[in-house]
Structure 1
Amino acid sequence: MYKIYLFLSSMALLGSIATAQAQNLGNSPFSAFGVGDVNESTGSVRSFGMGNVGVGTPASAYINSSNPALLYYNNRVTFELGLGAQAKILSDEVGEQRDADGSLNYLALALPISKRWSTAVGLRPYSTINYEYTSEGTVAGDATTKTRNSYTGNGNLSEVFFGHGIRIAKRLNLGVSASYLFGLVERESGSQLINATDASLSAEQLVINERTNYNGFQFKGALAYRQPLKDKWSLNLGTVYTIGSDLNTKKRTVQERRLSNDLVLGQNYLGDSITTTTRLPQGIQFGLSVDNGQSLVIGADFSAQKWSEFKSGVSTDKLADTYRIGIGAEYIPNPVSVNSYFQRVAYRAGFSVGKTPLELNGKQVNDVSLHWGFTLPIGGSPRPPEYTQSLLNLGFAVGRRGNGESNTLQENYFRVQLGFSLNSNWFIKPKID
């Protein structure tokens, strides 16, 4: 009864926690374009600790949502919860700003359907928008009248995914995944006149407020292959193709006159709501790894996405194609040790480098990060008949985003992920009651 209750509670939490992701705040001007900062960490905390390597790294104790074909290896019921936090320093030639935030990273449940088929359902952020910055300019046609312009945006797109991993031939797995993307984004741009004599701002400002709703489906196809080598070593290969998709997009625009205390003096709806689409581009991922089936894994991933194909009826943003390379490793000294707890701890490290969809001064923004992490077993080694195993997962990363020029915007960040994994053979009846 307890297990049934836990299962139903997990699914209820999966649906109700979606609104919590809207609290993923933290000023990032890099999120002002397109659909915002797209989540690169689509795997578990294990994957994050290895430099977001996961497309070709199978594991039975974790839900690998980077490659749905690897869900085949989840031969026990697995429940995972992940939380994330980050601290960052934004800097340019004018100054710097410090910021911090935290949010839900993912929630997932994997179930073995048969010996050849496992499935998983989960929730994670797809992208996040949160920015706030100001600039100064002049009124169109009047170069002597100066203005102070402010720009803010917040919101996110969430992803509910449903994946399957199926063994279709000896050592070869097929994976498919369907995701429902949804979210609300609010953007505001305001303008105030600057007094020419004392540089004070006028009490009234003109604000354009845009509320945009997104929803639609995204589909992925995947393959995974495992080839035994000598001395218990194996080679793993994986690939994932993301099909380009169109999101239903609806935007409402309101013009407001506000006082400095945000009191609204008047509103004017600028036409009817716009109903259009937003095109998310296709993408491809490749991964490989070698492992000894027990204590050591070394892997690498490559991913690319055609963000130059991004189009939206509510945006004129031009984005660039992206790529990312990740390299990582995991080592467990002795997974079955009964004398030393730290022999059963998993130690991880990795490195990631890539190009983001954004350009500053005509140069594409880079993202470089160093990762490490641990998995701490909770309790003793799993024993029959339940084989229940609980794991506390920790992942860390330090990195930088920028185009390499010291006088343009740069972001230095420190990220932490905390996760919990529960593995259990729920549907095996004990021989002794």
Structure 2
Amino acid sequence: MYKVYRFLSGFAFLASVVTAQAQNSPFSATGIGDINESTGSVRSFGMGNVGVGTPASAYINSSNPALLYYNNRVTFEMGLGGQAKQLSDNVGKQSSADGTLNYLGLALPLSKRWSTAISLRPFSNVNYEYSSEGTVNGDATTKTLNSYTGNGNISEVSWGHGIRIAKRLNIGVSASYLFGAVEREATAQLVNESDVSLSAERLVINERSNYNGLLFKGALAYRQPLTNKWSLNVGTVYTLGNDLDAKRRTVQERRLSSDLVLSRNYLGDSISTTTHLPQGIQVGLSIDNGRSLVVGADLSAQKWSNFKSGLNSDKLADSYRAAIGAEYIPNPASINSYFQRIGYRAGLGVGKTPLELNGKPVNDVSLHWGFTLPIGGSPRPPEYTQSLLNLGFAVGRRSNGESSALQEKYFRIQLGFSLNSNWFIKPKID
């Protein structure tokens, strides 16, 4: 019991300090920001974010709650993420890099047919900064320099269940609580045409939006043996459309260049409204030999054209994504060779994002790879304790296909730790 308390206490502490960050990305300025596509473990990330139809007992199957059934041991996971990014257009280039705590998860088997898991991860991120030139309304001769910034995130706490209801057939459900705040600022300064300088004062409109609400998913998973060694897995996840409660406070300020506030005016009462998140569906399949090799593919679609928000009039488009990936472990039970127990992964993802640029869809193409490094020896009875260090990498690009338009090239890395253990073992007397 002490072991249970220790792990839950550690999980609660890490959950209290988890933050979701992102780099400067104008693509996150629309809607509720960049939606987190990496909803699985580092294993899934290294396979191109394939996971809807790929069961694994050593990792929390958060991509498909029906696959939680295979977590027959207590599993704790923690992931760190980082990325380097380059933005470019026909004007210039900008590079940046950062990192953050990516996710936390704890899975518990409740019976031989039922496992549950809780997790914490980013749902969406907002972080952008850009500027443009304009004119004063009603006076086309007076120019202004306008700048726009935004930062914040929406986090997701999820509670999922995977239950075997028939031979080879599992069902899964998950309920998530989404919460977070996003702050956006729009600044305007007059440009002095005579000496091309800026006025000392700036007009700043600051908007802080708070979100909270529930999100529900239903899932199925089926495993069919093909031969004595090979099995086919099929999984599907349906995300219900749901409304988030949203509240926005708007403040207008006059500031000096030193950021000293000269005056502040609250523009009316806070706005209380809703933001509608659309329904989505994911389908995945894989084939594996139950030991050393798995090859999988996922397809997903989400009706982002149904996105509506009482806080803005942003229009989004339906999104699609396809991915393939594989994992190979030469000999998971090898005693004499550590390298035989290392897992090797690779994957490819191609998707159409909810964003459009110059009337054309913004596509995302990424190449993934990764490794699992076992810590310690092979699992031994009766505890079967196993610790794994997981690494995942990805290089990709988001663009609308026009060479002169804004495009984003990125390199991402994820580092994860997984611990599997049997906590509840009945003592035996010989």
TM over 0.5: yes
Alignment of 1:351-366 (within 5 A): 351-366=348-363
Please give the alpha-carbon distance, in whole angstroms, between the structure 2 residues aligned to 1:192 and 1:3.
59
* Residues 86-118 of structure 1 deviation map (CA, whole Å, 9 limit, x = unaligned): 001000010000011111111000000000000
Q: Secondary structure of the residue that 2:180 maps to in structure 1? A: strand
- Whether 2:1 is the aligned partner of 1:4: answer no
Q: Which residue of 2 aligns with 1:275?
A: 272
Please give the alpha-carbon distance, in whole angstroms, between the structure 1 residues aligned to 2:175 and 2:10.
20
**RMSD, matched Cα:** 1.1
Decide which of 329, 332, 341 is 2:329's aligned counterpart. 332
Please give the alpha-carbon distance, in whole angstroms, between the structure 1 residues aligned to 2:85 and 2:352.
19
Q: Which residue of 1 aligns with 2:197?
A: 200
Q: What is the CA distance between 1:142 and its match in structure 2?
A: 1.1
- Whether 2:91 is the aligned partner of 1:94: answer yes
* Residues 155-193 of structure 1 deviation map (CA, whole Å, 9 limit, x = unaligned): 000000000000011100000000000001000000000
Q: Mark the runs of 5 or more structure 1 residues left unpaired by the alignment.
A: none
Q: What is the CA distance between 1:230 and its match in structure 2?
A: 1.1
Q: What is the CA distance between 1:412 and its match in structure 2?
A: 0.3
Q: What is the CA distance between 1:264 and its match in structure 2?
A: 0.5
Please give the alpha-carbon distance, in whole angstroms, between the structure 1 residues aligned to 2:95 and 2:294.
36
- Shift in CA distance, 14/178, structure 1 to aligned 2, threshold 3 Å: farther
Q: Which residue of 2 aligns with 1:141?
A: 138
Please give the alpha-carbon distance, in whole angstroms, between the structure 2 residues aligned to 1:166 and 1:25.
35
- Whether 2:54 is the aligned partner of 1:57: answer yes
Q: Secondary structure of the residue that 1:161 maps to in structure 2? A: strand
Decide which of 238, 248, 251 is 1:251's aligned counterpart. 248
Please give the alpha-carbon distance, in whole angstroms, between the structure 2 residues aligned to 1:372 and 1:423.
23
Please give the alpha-carbon distance, in whole angstroms, between the structure 2 residues aligned to 1:47 and 1:8.
24
Please give the alpha-carbon distance, in whole angstroms, between the structure 1 residues aligned to 2:301 and 2:415.
27
- Whether 2:277 is the aligned partner of 1:261: answer no
Please give the alpha-carbon distance, in whole angstroms, between the structure 2 residues aligned to 1:365 and 1:265.
41
Q: Which residue of 1 aligns with 2:105?
A: 108
Q: What is the CA distance between 1:432 and its match in structure 2?
A: 6.8
Q: Secondary structure of the residue that 2:405 maps to in structure 1? A: coil
Q: What is the CA distance between 1:17 and its match in structure 2?
A: 2.4
Q: Which residue of 2 aligns with 1:69?
A: 66
Q: Which residue of 2 aligns with 1:81?
A: 78
Please give the alpha-carbon distance, in whole angstroms, between the structure 2 residues aligned to 1:406 and 1:296.
40
- Shift in CA distance, 119/362, structure 1 to aligned 2, threshold 3 Å: same
Alignment of 1:183-262 (within 5 A): 183-262=180-259
One-letter amino acid matched to 1:77: V
Please give the alpha-carbon distance, in whole angstroms, between the structure 2 residues aligned to 1:35 and 1:332.
39
Please give the alpha-carbon distance, in whole angstroms, between the structure 2 residues aligned to 1:289 and 1:236.
5
Indicate conservation of the 8 Å contact 1:349/1:372, yes or no.
yes
Please give the alpha-carbon distance, in whole angstroms, between the structure 2 residues aligned to 1:225 and 1:4.
31
Indicate conservation of the 8 Å contact 1:249/1:277, yes or no.
yes
One-letter amino acid matched to 2:236: T
Indicate conservation of the 8 Å contact 1:14/1:122, yes or no.
no
Normalization by structure 1: what TM-score? 0.98
- Whether 2:315 is the aligned partner of 1:318: answer yes
Q: Secondary structure of the residue that 1:194 maps to in structure 2? A: strand
Q: Secondary structure of the residue that 1:384 maps to in structure 2? A: coil
Q: Percent identity?
A: 80
Indicate conservation of the 8 Å contact 1:307/1:357, yes or no.
yes
Q: What is the CA distance between 1:3 and its match in structure 2?
A: 1.2
Normalization by structure 2: what TM-score? 0.99
Q: Mark the runs of 5 or more structure 2 residues left unpaired by the alignment.
A: none
Please give the alpha-carbon distance, in whole angstroms, between the structure 1 residues aligned to 2:212 and 2:111.
33
Indicate conservation of the 8 Å contact 1:255/1:267, yes or no.
yes
* Residues 237-261 of structure 1 deviation map (CA, whole Å, 9 limit, x = unaligned): 0000000010000000000000111
Please give the alpha-carbon distance, in whole angstroms, between the structure 2 residues aligned to 1:4 and 1:349.
35
Please give the alpha-carbon distance, in whole angstroms, between the structure 2 residues aligned to 1:97 and 1:372.
26
Q: Which residue of 1 aligns with 2:421?
A: 424
Decide which of 371, 375, 379 is 2:372's aligned counterpart. 375
Q: Which residue of 2 aligns with 1:118?
A: 115
Q: What is the CA distance between 1:65 and its match in structure 2?
A: 0.3
One-letter amino acid matched to 2:12: A
Please give the alpha-carbon distance, in whole angstroms, between the structure 2 residues aligned to 1:271 and 1:377.
58
One-letter amino acid matched to 1:48: F
Please give the alpha-carbon distance, in whole angstroms, between the structure 1 residues aligned to 2:398 and 2:429.
58
Decide which of 164, 176, 186 is 1:167's aligned counterpart. 164
- Shift in CA distance, 378/2, structure 1 to aligned 2, threshold 3 Å: farther
Q: What is the CA distance between 1:119 and its match in structure 2?
A: 0.2
Decide which of 386, 390, 393 is 2:390's aligned counterpart. 393
Q: What is the CA distance between 1:31 and its match in structure 2?
A: 0.2
Please give the alpha-carbon distance, in whole angstroms, between the structure 2 residues aligned to 1:110 and 1:5.
14
Indicate conservation of the 8 Å contact 2:320/2:353, yes or no.
yes
Indicate conservation of the 8 Å contact 2:15/2:104, yes or no.
no
One-letter amino acid matched to 1:145: T
